[in-house]
């Protein structure tokens, strides 16, 4: 896998965002989920057709300034600041889980800044009568069972892998915890910050992709997004849980490609 370029953007309010960037073509921004950002096969494949910008959420990885972001609204503004720093007026946004929620918020708050929106099993909705599991009260092994289709897969084991050496192990664990902390800032205690009341503002053509076996955000939650976003298409992919973009990578990239070129797919 070719290595992406690491760039640092110093934004107003003492916030520094580090991005991974690669590829040529139309700009596309990827917002990662609560597990943090790694350059994975999904991003690598996208980078064959697009100029991919993947920022680390402030407070995760090398990005700094979480303490200067008060709430979700502040975070949305931070990402507009990042678009300004990139010199991009309007961008294609792909967001996974927490990132999907942020992408929807960005598209709703200022529709002029988002060209096309892809939300991969986005967070942002919660039903008391059929609650999604509490991401922040799961043992690491359980979390992997919830987000993967096959908990015995190589992908699943890679999520739990730890270095042997104590110092390295401690740093890897701290990195995972601080990433989760940054995510929790925008999802605690229930991942519903009112997005349903703003979804109708989204003007961008929207593609929703869900893993049919998603145990973290149940597929039934897709209905809210499908019904609430004016131009939304929903595709359910089989043999995929919450890491749908890694478990059905080729299909996801193909769907995104068709969607971007304007031939929006119909749900199978």
Partner 1 sequence: MRFIAFHLMPYRNLPADFEARYPSVWVNVPKSLYDPAEGHRLYHQYLDELEFAVDLGYDGIGVNEHHSNAYGLMPSPNLMGSILARKVRHSSKTALLVLGNSIALYNPPIRVAEEMAMLDVLSGGKFIGGFPVGTSMDTNYCYGVNPAEMRDRYYEAHDLIIKGWKTEAPFAFNGKYTQLRYVNPWPRPMQTPHPPVWIPGGGSVETYDFAIKHNYSFSYLSFFGYRYAKKVMGPFWERAQALGADMNPYRAGYAQLLCVSETDARAQTDYEQHVRYFFAKCLHIDPRHYEAPGYRTAATLRAGLRSQFEAAESATQLLKEGKLDWNGLLDRGFVIAGSPATVRDRLIEAARELNTGNILLLNHIGSMPHHLTTKNLQIFAEEVMPQIRRADPFEKWNPSAYWPQKVLSERL
Cα–Cα dist 28/115, whole Å: 10
Q: Counting contacts by CB under 8 A, is residue 178 touching partner 1? A: yes
Q: Does 160 bind partner 1 (CB under 8 A)?
A: no
Binding residues for partner 1 restricted to 183-202, rule: CB under 8 A: 183-185, 188-189
Asked if 34 and 60 count as a contact pair (C-beta separation under 8 A), the reply is: no
**By CB under 8 A, how many residues form the interface with partner 1?**
24
Q: Among residues 169 and 200, whose Cβ is nearest to partner 1? A: 169
In whole angstroms, the minimum distance from the beta carbon of 140 to partner 1 comes to: 11
Contact between 264 and partner 1 (CB under 8 A)? no
Alpha-carbon distance 219 to 239, whole Å? 13
Encoded one letter per residue, x for contact with partner 1 by CB under 8 A and - for no contact, window 11-50 reads ----------------------------------------
Tell me if 139 contacts partner 1 by CB under 8 A. yes
Task: Provide the minimum distance between the beta carbon of 168 and partner 1 in the complex, in angstroms, as a whole number.
Answer: 11
* Residue 110, C-beta contacts closer than 8 angstroms, at least 6 positions apart: 80
| Residue (169 or 258) nearer to partner 1, CB | 169
CA distances from 20 to 1, 130, 178, 179 (A): 14, 37, 19, 16
Among 93, 182, 222, 244, which residue interacts with partner 1 (rule: CB under 8 A)? 182
- Taking CB under 8 A as the binding criterion, the range among 7-15, 17-25, 133-141, 213-221 that sits at the site for partner 1 is 133-141
Only one of the segments 94-102, 104-112, 165-173, 246-254 lies at the binding site for partner 1 (rule: CB under 8 A); that segment is 165-173
**Minimal distance in Å, beta carbon 177 to partner 1?**
5
Q: Between 144 and 252, name the residue whose CB sits nearer to partner 1.
A: 144
Spatial separation of the C-alpha atoms in residues 66 and 9, rounded to whole Å: 14
Q: Residues 66 to 85: which contact partner 1 by CB under 8 A?
A: 66-67, 70
Q: Which is nearer to partner 1, 34 or 229 (CB)?
A: 34
Edge-first strand listing for the sheet containing 91-96:
5-11, 15-22, 50-55, 26-31, 91-96, 114-120, 206-211, 232-237
Told to check if 137 binds partner 1 by CB under 8 A, we report yes
Position 180 contacts partner 1 (CB under 8 A): yes
- Reported as type and span, the H/E element at residue 53 is strand 50-55
Crossing angle of the two packed helices 98-109 and 166-187, in degrees rounded to 10 = 40
In this structure, the number of other CB atoms found within 10 A of the CB of residue 139 comes to 8
DSSP labels, 173-237: HHHHHHHHHHHHHHH-SSS-SSGGGTGGG--S-EEEEEETT-SSS-GGGHHHHHHHSTTEEEEEE
Q: Which residues bind partner 1 (CB under 8 A)?
A: 59, 66-67, 70, 136-139, 166-167, 169-170, 173-174, 177-178, 180-185, 188-189
């Amino acid at each position: 896998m070719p290595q992406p370029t690491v760039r640092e953007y110093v934004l107003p309010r003492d916030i520094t965002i580090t991005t991974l960037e690669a590829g040529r073509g139309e700009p596309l921004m990827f917002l990662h989920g609560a597990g943090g950002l790694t350059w994975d096969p999904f991003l690598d494949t996208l980078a064959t057709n697009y100029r991919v910008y993947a920022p680390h959420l402030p407070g995760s990885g090398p990005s700094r300034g979480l303490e200067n972001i008060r709430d979700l609204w502040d975070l949305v503004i931070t990402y507009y600041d990042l678009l300004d720093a990139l010199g991009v007026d309007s961008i294609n946004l792909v967001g996974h889980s927490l990132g999907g929620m942020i992408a929807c918020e960005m598209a709703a708050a200022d529709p002029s800044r988002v060209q096309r929106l892809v939300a991969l099993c986005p967070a942002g909705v919660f039903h008391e009568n059929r609650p999604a599991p509490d991401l922040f009260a799961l043992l690491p092994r359980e979390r992997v069972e919830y987000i993967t289709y096959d908990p015995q897969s190589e992908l699943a084991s890679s999520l739990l892998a730890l270095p042997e050496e104590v110092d390295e192990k401690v740093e890897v664990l701290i990195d995972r915890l601080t990433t989760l902390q940054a995510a929790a800032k925008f999802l605690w205690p229930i991942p519903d910050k009112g997005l349903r009341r703003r979804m109708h503002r989204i003007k961008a053509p929207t593609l929703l992709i869900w893993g049919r076996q998603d145990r973290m955000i149940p597929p039934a939650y897709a209905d809210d997004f499908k019904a609430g976003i004016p131009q939304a298409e929903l595709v359910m992919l089989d043999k995929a849980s919450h890491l749908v973009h890694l478990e059905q990578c080729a299909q996801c990239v193909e769907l995104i490609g068709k969607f971007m070129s304007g031939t929006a797919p119909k749900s199978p």
